[in-house]
């Protein structure tokens, strides 16, 4: 007699937990550990001077027209690289349209933003600075601000010694990218398991890992970042309600204007997911267990039972790695010619 799916999954789970080597071998074909350090972007070595400049710019609110909002406002490095609110608060107390994704390990994503409209972190860095609902500035204002501060002018010259005019909007974005590549979280329990440490995951997490692979989560969530590589409809099998999938946000359609891309979004990277509620692009789900159950129903057409949801959630907690230790920098002072806040 052909075994039922639950019995088949149970036997697979038992085999996976009983033999850590077999489970590791299966997982290693799908996932890769976060590297200890990233030193290149697009084949170009990131210099220490560029990264140190980007570190200061990351925390500098003067990149915004109000002098209130910095990159760290919406991507707070002390709470998982996001801001733990449904949608971020930007210029003039406006609410953004989507949940702020984490910047931790973002260097491993195939593209940036929920709809993938930025091909890399340099391009991404330019978006929030100019968005009226976020930092509400312009390239001209940013360059004028940076050139008005002698310390910044000197640091740009040091970071980009071959440029005739080193203080530029492009170089600002590249410096931010150079800093962001350092925001990785290696040595999570899952990574240590992949590297051979059997006890890095407990039995429940191993069951969750086996389930994560067996029920099909890996179709969207794979690779180094356990996601962030491809685009999928939200609601492959069944669309969630309008509270979770707002009808007005058509996702990647706004980038491609292709009907097939309506309600298509980049698969969320799941590294450090336990640190970054609320979930989904709408930011309407606060509990990780609920998010897992919704994904099972909407993407896989499977009503996960409580034990399955609990085990997969336990596995997702194992994706939390060592958080980057980033000191708050002392920023150079404004001068009389620095544009005033608006």
- What residues have CB less than 8 Å from 329, skipping those under 6 apart? 55, 56, 59
**Calpha distance 167→160 (Å, rounded):** 9
Q: Is 160 among the domain residues?
A: yes
For residues 207-232, b (16+ Cβ closer than 10 Å) or e, as one string?
bbbbbbbbbbbbebbbbbbbbbbbbb
**One domain for residues 156 and 198:** no
Shared domain check, 164 and 63: yes
Residue 121 and residue 127 in contact, taking contact as beta carbons nearer than 8 Å = no
- The reply to whether 220 sits in an annotated binding site is yes
pLDDT by residue (tens digit) across 255-314?
A: 999 999 999 999 999 999 999 999 999 999 999 999 999 999 999 999 999 999 999 999
| Same domain, residue pair 305 and 191 | yes
Q: Are residues 122 and 154 in the same domain?
A: yes
75 annotated to bind ligand = yes
Both tokens of 84, joined, read 């733990």
pLDDT band (50, 70, 90) for residue 19: confident
CA distance 187 to 34: 7
Inside any domain, residue 322: no
Q: Is residue 328 situated within a structural domain?
A: no
Q: Is 1 annotated as a binding residue?
A: no
CATH of the domain at 110: 1.10.760.10
For the residues 156-163, what does the mean pLDDT come to?
98
My answer on whether 159 and 30 are in the same domain is no
Per-residue pLDDT at 9 exceeds 80: no
Q: How far apart are CA 166 and CA 157, in angstroms?
A: 6
* Residue 303 shares a structural domain with residue 257: yes
323: in domain:
no
Looking at the structure, do residues 249 and 191 belong to the same domain, yes or no? yes
Is there a single domain that holds both residue 88 and residue 211? no
213 in a known ligand binding site? no
Q: Which residues contact 31 (CB under 8 A, 6 or more apart)?
A: 190, 194, 222, 223, 224, 226
User: Quick one: pLDDT band at residue 16, thresholds 50, 70, 90?
Assistant: very low
Q: Is residue 28 part of a domain?
A: yes
Helix residue ranges per DSSP H, the chain: 5-18, 20-28, 48-59, 71-74, 121-130, 139-147, 150-159, 169-180, 189-194, 203-214, 253-256, 288-300, 306-317
Give the pLDDT of residue 164.
Answer: 96
More confident position, 39 or 332: 332
Positive or negative: CA dihedral 88, 123, 41, 175 = negative
Residue 251 in any domain: the answer is yes
Establish if 240 belongs to a structural domain.
yes
Instruction: Please identify every residue annotated as catalytic.
Output: 134
295 is in an annotated binding site: yes
Angle at 116 between CA 111 and CA 121, to 5 degrees: 40
Do residue 175 and residue 188 come from a single domain? no
Question: Is residue 270 domain-shared with residue 139, that is, in the same domain?
Answer: no
The answer on pLDDT for 155 being more than 80 is yes
52 is in an annotated binding site: no
Q: In total, how many domains does the chain have?
A: 2
Residue 338 lies in a domain: no
- Asked if 121 and 156 sit in the same domain, the reply is yes
* Residue 91 among known ligand-binding residues: yes
Query: Do 157 and 205 belong to one domain?
Result: no
Confidence at 3, pLDDT banded by 50, 70, 90: very low
Residue of 4, 29, 34, 7 whose CA lies nearest to 209? 29
SS3 233: strand
Structural domain containing residue 135: 38-179
């Amino acid at each position: 007699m052909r075994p039922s799916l639950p019995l088949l999954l149970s036997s697979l789970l038992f085999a996976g937990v009983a033999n850590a080597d077999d489970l590791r071998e299966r997982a290693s074909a799908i996932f890769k550990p976060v590297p200890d350090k990233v030193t290149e972007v697009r084949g170009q070595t990131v210099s220490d001077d560029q990264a140190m400049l980007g570190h200061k710019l990351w925390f500098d609110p003067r990149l915004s027209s109000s002098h209130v909002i910095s990159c760290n406002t919406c991507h707070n490095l002390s709470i998982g690289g996001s801001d733990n609110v449904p949608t971020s608060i930007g210029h003039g107390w406006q609410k953004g349209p989507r949940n702020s994704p984490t910047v931790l390990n973002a260097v491993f994503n195939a593209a940036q933003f929920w709809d993938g409209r930025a091909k890399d972190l340099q391009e991404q860095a330019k978006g929030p600075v100019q968005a009226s609902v976020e930092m509400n500035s312009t390239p001209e204002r940013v360059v004028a601000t940076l050139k008005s501060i002698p310390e910044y002018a000197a640091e740009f010259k040091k970071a980009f010694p071959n440029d005739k005019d080193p203080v530029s909007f492009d170089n600002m974005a590249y410096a931010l990218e150079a800093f962001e590549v350092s925001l990785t979280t290696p040595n999570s329990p899952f990574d240590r398991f992949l590297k051979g440490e059997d006890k890095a995951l407990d039995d429940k997490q191993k069951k969750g890992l086996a389930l994560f692979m067996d029920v099909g989560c890996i179709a969207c969530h794979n690779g180094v970042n356990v996601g962030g590589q491809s685009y999928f409809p939200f609601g492959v099998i069944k669309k969630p309600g309008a509270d979770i999938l707002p009808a007005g946000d058509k996702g990647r359609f706004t980038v491609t204007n292709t009907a097939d891309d309506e309600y298509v979004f980049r698969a969320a990277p799941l590294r450090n997911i336990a640190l970054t509620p609320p979930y989904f692009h709408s930011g309407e789900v606060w509990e990780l267990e609920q998010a897992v159950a919704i994904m099972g129903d909407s993407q896989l057409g499977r009503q996960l039972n409580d034990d399955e949801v609990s085990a997969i959630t336990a596995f997702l907690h194992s994706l939390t790695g060592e958080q980057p230790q980033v000191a708050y920098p002392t920023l150079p002072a404004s001068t009389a010619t620095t544009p005033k806040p608006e």
